[in-house]
């Protein structure tokens, strides 16, 4: 079982929402990493499910792509399991 398989559906929807926001703004993982103050490999691992996102990195990622952190959580919460 891969790492992605171990994460719940709501968690995966959060990560997918982050990725979609990054791509819709035409940002690379490197762009997001620079704005977060980390390196591209950390963003890649987060997006691929190799590394679980903690709340601090979630907020940093959201800010890096211009999302309001609560808005994505509200959207995911409204989708149900």
Q: Which string of DSSP letters, residue by residue, matches 12-34?
A: HHHHHHHHHHHHHTT--HHHHHH
**How many structural domains comprise the chain?**
1
| DSSP code, position 67 | -
Question: Which residue range is the domain that position 8 belongs to?
Answer: 3-79
**Greatest distance between any 2 Cα atoms in the chain:** 33
CATH of the domain at 45: 1.10.260.40
Per-residue pLDDT at 4 exceeds 80:
no
pTM score, two decimals? Answer: 0.85
Per residue in 21-70, pLDDT tens?
999 999 999 999 999 999 999 999 999 999 999 999 999 999 999 999 99
Eight-class DSSP state of 54:
P
Q: Is 72 helix (H, G, I), strand (E, B) or coil?
A: helix
Q: Which pLDDT value is given to residue 1?
A: 42
Instruction: Give yes or no for a contact between 49 and 11, defined as CB atoms under 8 angstroms apart.
Output: no
């Amino acid at each position: 079982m891969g790492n992605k398989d171990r994460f719940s559906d709501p968690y995966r929807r959060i990560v997918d929402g982050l990725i979609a926001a990054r791509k819709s703004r035409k940002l690379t993982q490197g762009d997001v990493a620079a704005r977060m103050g980390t390196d591209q490999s950390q963003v890649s691992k987060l997006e691929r499910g190799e590394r679980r996102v903690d709340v601090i990195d979630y907020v940093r990622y959201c800010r890096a792509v211009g999302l309001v952190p609560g808005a994505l959580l509200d959207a995911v919460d409204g989708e149900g399991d």
